[in-house]
Structure 1
Amino acid sequence: MPDVPRLCIFERELAPGKREHTWLVAQPDGAAIQVEDGAPLPLPPGSVARVFERYGQVFDVASGVGGEARSASGDTRLHFTEGLLKRLRHRTWFDVEPRDYLVFQPHGEGASAEGWPRYELCTAISAALVHLAEAYRAARSELRSS
């Protein structure tokens, strides 16, 4: 799927030299989650915005978040139907390792609303989105079998 717009939203080391990547994949009708080379799992419409509403933090204007994270895809941002998702790497003076964050800015009416953009650690957002995609798949297959 290299020709499909996607953003690596989480990377983890499974073993020395073996990494697993989680991607947010842009689709014509929304977005999907893809873990490594598995099949993309569609997300329910609006789920990225909902996850950031629930877990994301509003930027404090006084503090800066800087540095774009190099990821497996080499990309740091993804435009898709819900909005703009950007991956940042930030290291404060007390961090030994930098932390990777996702920043989301919705399109449309939500874009100018107070409380946007929002950010959160990649780990939290990717875990919530993977869970939603798996639950959505299970619910849809249950409906089909009924």
Structure 2
Amino acid sequence: MSKSTTVIESEKSKLFTVRFVISLLLVVAGIAWLVFYYTQARGNPLAFPPTKGSPKAVADLGDWNYAIGFGLLMLGLVVSAHPSTPLGRGRGVVVGMLACFLVGLLWICTFYVFSNDLSSIWIFNDLGQWNLVVGIAFMAVGFSFATKWE
């Protein structure tokens, strides 16, 4: 027995459904995690001697913090592709799809253009070659929107 994909009409007319609020919270939490880690918990590896970040529990995760932050961000975008959210129906699907494709493309192009000296670009300087994975992940999320396009 397959799961029903119909969306209740009252959900289609509402702007802030539960799923949309959850997706917004996930996106904001992902961005907040990335900003907090980069500005506070990471410390300053370029200082001499390198300074440790705090809180120690977050700083000890190291590069996994980027996986957590980008994971929350991507999960929030995927959740927002459901038809009960504004980005999951009508023109929102096209907007979400194209936005994810363009952000992914810009992420990869920025990485390639500045790959000789990434030290001045936040987050890019820590990720190194993993910037390609982030760009491709944005594009993959764009495909989750593309599957909803009618």
- Asked if TM exceeds 0.5, the reply is no
Q: Which has a greater percent of helix?
A: 2
Q: Which has a greater percent of strand?
A: 1
The TM-score with structure 1 as length reference comes to 0.25
